[in-house]
């Protein structure tokens, strides 16, 4: 269990570095540290499907953030005058949010003993009814295929949106 704790602290450290570092390229690399730590955490939590998807998606996110935006063009972080009022408001909001969320988190079931009221059925009947040995695929494409259909719709819409935003043909010339 201590490995998951260590990786969680690594993720916190990586995200703090990504927030506060001066160079944008270093921030992107620190973000990759967070994602790869998450991938190893998925392996320790017995979720190999999520681990495979996470590591591949992480690589593509890194390529998009570095190549497509040209991070090396604006190397330095933008320095503005520090607005004290805005900073105080942000910290106050985060404290209030954290207090309510922590009080909600204490009501969750204990780690390692989940409530598996629906999932017990999937685990017991999954192989017999769908024939798929990978129970995650059985849930994804048989028991809850509507979720996958909605996911495909969201993917299609996001890609359509980015192609439309970046189009060159048909825009008004200035």
Partner 1 sequence: MLFFLSFVVFLVGLYCVMTRKNLLKIVMGIVIMEYAVNFFLVLLGYRMGGVAPIVTKGMENAKFVDPLPQAMVLTAIVISIATLAFLVAICVRIYQKYNTFDITEIRKLKG
Partner 2 sequence: MSPFRETKAGMTNIVKTIAKFVVPPVIIFGIYMILHGHLTPGGGFPGGVIVACTFILLVLAFGKEVAFQKLKISTASVIESAGALVFLSVALIGMAVGGWFFFNFLPVGFPLKIISAGSIPFSNIGIGLKVMGGVFAVFLTLIMFRLTTKR
Binders of partner 1 among residues 88 to 147 (CB under 8 A) are 90, 93-94, 97-98, 101-102, 105, 108, 111-114, 116, 118-119, 122-123, 126-127, 133-136, 138-140, 144, 147
Among positions 132-171, residues that touch partner 2 (CB under 8 A) are: 132-134, 136-138, 140-142, 145-146, 148-149, 152, 155-156, 159, 162-163, 166, 168
Q: According to the binding rule CB under 8 A, does residue 75 interact with partner 2? A: no
Q: Which residues contact 4 (CB under 8 A, 6 or more apart)?
A: 41, 44, 45
Q: How many residues does the chain have?
A: 174
**Through-space distance between the first and last CA atoms of the chain, rounded to whole angstroms:** 61
Q: According to the binding rule CB under 8 A, does residue 82 interact with partner 2? A: no
Q: Which residues contact 76 (CB under 8 A, 6 or more apart)?
A: 22, 23, 24
Q: In whole angstroms, give the CA distance from residue 132 to residue 138.
A: 6
Q: According to the binding rule CB under 8 A, does residue 107 interact with partner 2? A: no
Q: According to the binding rule CB under 8 A, does residue 3 interact with partner 2? A: no
Residue given tokens 């190999």 in the structure block: 48
Among positions 20-59, residues that touch partner 2 (CB under 8 A) are: 48-49, 51-53, 56-57, 59
- From the list partner 1, partner 2, none, pick the one residue 16 interacts with, judged by a Cβ distance below 5 to 8 Å according to partner type: partner 1
- From the list partner 2, partner 1, none, pick the one residue 114 interacts with, judged by a Cβ distance below 5 to 8 Å according to partner type: partner 1
- From the list partner 1, partner 2, none, pick the one residue 85 interacts with, judged by a Cβ distance below 5 to 8 Å according to partner type: none
Q: In whole angstroms, give the CA distance from residue 77 to residue 94.
A: 23
Among positions 5-34, residues that touch partner 1 (CB under 8 A) are: 5, 8-9, 11-12, 15-16, 18-19, 24, 27-28, 31, 34
Q: In angstroms, what CA-CA distances link 17 with 20, 30, 101, 138?
A: 5, 6, 24, 39
**What is the CB neighbour count within 10 angstroms for residue 6?**
13
Q: Which residues pair with 23 in a beta bridge?
A: 76
Can you tell me which of 26, 29, 61, 130 binds partner 1, judged by CB under 8 A? 61
Q: According to the binding rule CB under 8 A, does residue 36 interact with partner 1? A: no
């Amino acid at each position: 269990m201590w490995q998951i704790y260590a990786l969680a602290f690594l993720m916190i450290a990586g995200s703090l570095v990504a927030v506060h570092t001066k160079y944008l390229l270093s921030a992107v690399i620190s973000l990759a540290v967070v994602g790869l730590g998450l991938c190893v955490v998925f392996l320790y939590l017995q979720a190999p499907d999520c681990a495979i998807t996470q590591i591949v998606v992480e690589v593509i996110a890194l390529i998009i953030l570095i190549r497509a935006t040209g991070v090396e063009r604006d190397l330095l972080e933008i320095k503005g005058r520090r607005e004290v009022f805005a900073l105080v408001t942000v910290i106050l909001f985060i404290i209030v949010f954290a207090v309510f969320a922590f009080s909600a988190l204490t009501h969750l079931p204990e780690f390692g003993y989940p409530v598996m009221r629906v999932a017990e059925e999937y685990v017991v009947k999954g192989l017999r009814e769908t024939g798929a040995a990978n129970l995650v695929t059985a849930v994804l494409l048989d028991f809850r295929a509507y979720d996958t259909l909605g996911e495909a719709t969201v993917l299609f819409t996001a890609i359509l949106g980015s192609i439309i935003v970046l189009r060159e043909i048909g825009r008004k010339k200035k």
